[in-house]
Amino acid sequence: MGPGENGLPGFPEWLPSQIAFERHLIRAIAEGFEEFGFTPLDTAAVQPFEVLLAGGAQYSDGGMAKPIFDVLEPDETSTGRRFGLRYDLTVPLARYLSEHGSDLVYPLRCYQINKVWRAERPTASHWREFYQCDIDIIGRGELSPLYDAEIAAALVAAFDRMGVGEFTIRISNRLVLAALLAGHGLHNDRTRSVVHIIDEGGRQPREETVAQLVAADMPAAVAEDVGRLLACRTVEEARELLTLRRADHRGLDELDEVMAALSDLGVPDRRICLDFSITRGHDYYTGTVYETFAAGHEDWGAIGSGGRYDDLLGHVMGSVHPGVGVSIGLTRLCALLADQATAWNLPGGPATILVMTDVSGDSQAVLRAARALREAGQPTQVIFDAASPKEGLRIAESLNVPLVVQADAGGHLTLRHMRNGSSQAVDLAGLVALVRDGRAL
């Protein structure tokens, strides 16, 4: 079986080394978000069904809600309500804000790293149970576009800490396309159909997108202008096109402000790319939109995406709470990274040192060494079953532990470095000093 595969399709169960890698990513993401002042938030896994249905209508643009797992209460403790498992983190967030909003400080900067469940057919890239990692900034009444830059910068920090290699956040603004279409007299449903065609087209050549628009009964002049917009690589180029069509420039002004703020925040130019083909298909996006791609792995699709939503929470909260946020599908990203040879090359558990005896070893020496290392703040695992040096190394390799300490019958210690194959005799004080100073690692 591959990573996470088992007899429960769509419900991954990782091996210890894979869980260690997943936890490593979770810590990296949390640290990246907290660097930007985001605080953790948690909502109940079980939500009222009516909340999930209302949110689903928003997410599916008026259609059916995402497939929801029902939660059945025993008759003897039934509340008479219908519940389901959350299928994302945004809909429960809206309910949470509606119930706790008066106790919160706005703009609220929060992140969530939790599991969600979707009762849909599992595939290689779609799971029934998986982690989502969301960050959101939510205002009350108004929210400056500068927060859109903060979200993108925090996403860069998280991916840098995760060590996914080179990546680029492709950024656009939904208002730009809407303004261009409005200049041609197109609104609402016609605008929605253009957005969906561009979104589904992904990274295909713009000529194909233009042809698809014409095939969908879009006037040729409109389709050609959309193609011109997709070819723009700077805000100035897009501004010339919108000026020619006497279209509103608000979206471009916001993009200018966001791009300048990203530069002021120190985000490297190579991390941000203006791309007007980024539209995000859902109707609730109202301004800035982002999609993140790993360099050389564009076939993975977006590994982090989101944008500005001015009224996504209104269906639950009943008041205007504009927000901006992005989401990372962590479980899917773990599975994708598993294809890289070094992705799982982390300790099989929290310990980085394995202490054990040889075939004639001294268990008391093992206990003393383990205690000293733990008191020095070093996560340490012990094995009391006697093992030959060869067997000890095999166990350490299977656990991906970088350091092994073996005690012989006389209580003498040998430190073995798994990464370079070297070994050295040490006493207890010397062992602790090596580890504390970082020289052993």
Q: What pLDDT is recorded for position 314?
A: 64
Query: For the segment 4-40, what is each residue's pLDDT rounded down to a tens digit?
Result: 566 788 898 888 778 888 888 899 999 999 999 999 9
CA 147, CA 306: separation in Å to the nearest integer?
13
**pLDDT score, position 278:** 92
pLDDT at site 66: 63
Closest CA to 228 of 16, 168, 373, 220: 220
CB of 253 within 8 A of CB of 179? Answer: no
Q: What pLDDT, on a 0 to 100 scale, did the predictor assign at position 237? A: 96
What is the structure's pLDDT at 178?
92
Specify the pLDDT at position 359: 75
Which portions of the chain are predicted below pLDDT 50?
1-2, 60-64, 341-348
The confidence score (pLDDT) of residue 342 equals: 47
pLDDT score for 412: 87
Question: Which domains, and CATH codes, for the chain?
Answer: 16-337 (3.30.930.10), 353-436 (3.40.50.800)
Minimal CA–CA distance to 262: which of 143, 134, 133, 145?
A: 145
pLDDT in the model for residue 20:
81
pLDDT at 437: 76
Peptide bond just before 107 cis, omega within 30 deg: yes
Task: Show the tokens assigned to 227.
Answer: 């193609």
254 in Cβ contact with 288 (< 8 Å)? yes
| β-strand pairing of 129-138 with 108-117 | antiparallel
Mean pLDDT, all residues of the chain: 85
The sheet carrying 70-71 orders its strands as 46-48, 83-85, 70-71
What pLDDT shows up at residue 399? 79
Residue type (1 letter), 326? V
